[in-house]
A and B are shown apart, each in its own frame.
Chain A
């Protein structure tokens, strides 16, 4: 019975496709998969906006939306109606075509990334051999959309925000790729279904998730930092710093185009969390072998929502990083540590199985962290404060 529940969406798709002639069935199957993705993730987006506002509010000792529906849960409907009916203001000197295309390109690029995520057992829209490369290619395409948005608005603040956002995204994209390369090295394939299958094994009760290995933990930490920076989430949200640049590269967008940017940002968050879950947290596999009867897609979405909750938690807790602090952090700590982690991953792969490789790799990574982060990044000698007043 639980196997049927696990595969229920595939059975549903086959049942619907069964009503049609044979030559149309693969096409209808794909279309149903696309419809599934295009309906589930925006629905999650609506839910997440409420959770974010309530969660942030509670962390800041206030209530959050509580007028629309019980506990404010129908707030996304109000937001949707507002953004659909609001006047679409386009600046007179803005570049019309590019201004229109930028949010479209962003949303298209982000949606494409969902096509290769395995959300459950046998439940991936496209099973590519180099799925990971496809995912990062789509992520890179969204940077062009950010730049287009900032430049076409003919607004200095938008352009500044767009430049900062693109610089930040490019720097942390390198880290994202390198921390995923460690996973590819151990698995031996760029196919996301193979990566999940490699983690879907249990020794006794405990799973073989990559986060439970020393190199996996380090790579996951770097991936989480880079993912937060890629999606411009706090503490890396200077490009859209609400207190600094009004709204950064989407200042001049109103109405539904702004809603598309908002959607693109949150979907990017889901996408990065989904990939992180697939690469490090075992994808759709259960945390303990005796919990395998719970459907795989429930595990995937539970892990993704847990990551989203951590994103919201971090946003409410940590202060924003300045642009130069952000870039220093990327190039001077995160990138060297990720490169060192690649070496340690290779060492793990070629040492034999046993307790020795655990000890050696953990010791190496701990030493590297202490050396690079604690001592190497410490450059502020705090002397007495000096003030400079305007004349």
Chain B
């Protein structure tokens, strides 16, 4: 199991590094897809089947597609004029190290605080379902409101183009 973890970790980290270091933006997006896949396999190696497959379905199937569409439909797909690396890379490194220190400290502290639970997932999907409509019903409803707002926003943005183009075809509608 340890061996599998190291391979998946190298896949995820390598894809993540490629996603920030490659010149062509679409290549970066595809490397990001590889990082998502690595994360999904890490979930699967921990036995969280639902989380792993949902990660593939949502991140690779929808978020990655969204990212590449955004790159293609804007000017991000042209080759960059200057260098891909910023001039202020030292302060970026300091910020990244600080964030990593905070996260790492939190994770290591939590191992001491939480009890050592050996959770054998028995029908985990049902447990997730019960938790969603039982204990976490308020976050679920808030998420639904957020998604509805996003959908309405998307419809409004797409609707904006209609009045300007409808002049020649108005009587045929």
Binding site for B on A (CB under 8 A): 95, 98, 128-130, 133-134, 136-141, 143-144, 147-148, 151, 159, 163, 166, 170, 173, 190, 383, 386, 388
User: CA of A321 to CA of B172 in the docked complex: distance in angstroms?
Assistant: 20
**Minimum CB–CB distance for A350 against chain B, Å:** 15
* Cross-chain contact B53 with A137 (CB below 8 angstroms): yes
* Cross-chain contact B57 with A137 (CB below 8 angstroms): yes
Chain A contact residues: helix, strand, loop or mixed = helix
Chain A residues within an 8 Å CB radius of B24: 95
Chain B residues within an 8 Å CB radius of A170: 61-62, 65
Chain B residues within an 8 Å CB radius of A386: 171-172
Chain B residues within an 8 Å CB radius of A166: 65, 69
* Cross-chain contact B57 with A129 (CB below 8 angstroms): no
* Cross-chain contact A129 with B60 (CB below 8 angstroms): no
Given contacts A129-B49, A134-B53, A136-B57, 6 further A-B contacts (CB under 8 A): A129-B123, A140-B62, A144-B33, A166-B65, A190-B125, A383-B172
User: CA of A130 to CA of B168 in the docked complex: distance in angstroms?
Assistant: 52
Find B65's partner among A95, A138, A147 (CB 8 Å cutoff). Answer: A147
Chain A residues within an 8 Å CB radius of B53: 130, 133-134, 136-137
Q: Quick one: closest A residue to B26, CB to CB? A: A151
* Cross-chain contact A143 with B61 (CB below 8 angstroms): yes
**Minimum CB–CB distance for A344 against chain B, Å:** 20
Chain B residues within an 8 Å CB radius of A147: 65, 68
Q: Quick one: closest B residue to A142, CB to CB? A: B61
Instruction: From A98, A133, A136, name the one whose CB has the most chain B CB atoms within 10 angstroms.
Output: A133
* Cross-chain contact A130 with B56 (CB below 8 angstroms): no
Chain B residues within an 8 Å CB radius of A143: 61, 65
Chain A residues within an 8 Å CB radius of B65: 143-144, 147, 166, 170
* Cross-chain contact A148 with B30 (CB below 8 angstroms): yes
B103 at the interface (CB under 8 A from A): no
**Minimum CB–CB distance for B119 against chain A, Å:** 15
Chain A residues within an 8 Å CB radius of B69: 163, 166
**Minimum CB–CB distance for A164 against chain B, Å:** 12
Q: A129-B123, A151-B72, A170-B65 are in contact. Are A140 and B60 (CB under 8 A)?
A: yes
* Cross-chain contact B56 with A141 (CB below 8 angstroms): yes
> 1/0 contact trace for B14-43 toward A, CB 8 Å?
000000000010110010010000000000
Q: A98-B30, A130-B125, A151-B26 are in contact. Are A137 and B56 (CB under 8 A)?
A: yes
B11 at the interface (CB under 8 A from A): no
> 1/0 contact trace for B45-79 toward A, CB 8 Å?
00001100110110011101100110010000000
Q: Which chain B residues numbered 114 to 167 have a C-beta less than 8 Å away from chain A?
A: 123-125
**Minimum CB–CB distance for B69 against chain A, Å:** 8
* Cross-chain contact A141 with B61 (CB below 8 angstroms): yes
Chain B residues within an 8 Å CB radius of A133: 49-50, 53-54, 57
User: CA of A173 to CA of B61 in the docked complex: distance in angstroms?
Assistant: 10
A-B contact pairs, 23 of them (CB 8 A): A98-B30, A128-B49, A129-B123, A129-B125, A133-B50, A133-B53, A134-B53, A137-B53, A137-B54, A137-B56, A137-B57, A137-B61, A140-B56, A140-B57, A144-B60, A144-B65, A147-B65, A148-B30, A151-B26, A151-B68, A170-B61, A190-B125, A388-B168
**Minimum CB–CB distance for A133 against chain B, Å:** 4
**Minimum CB–CB distance for A60 against chain B, Å:** 33
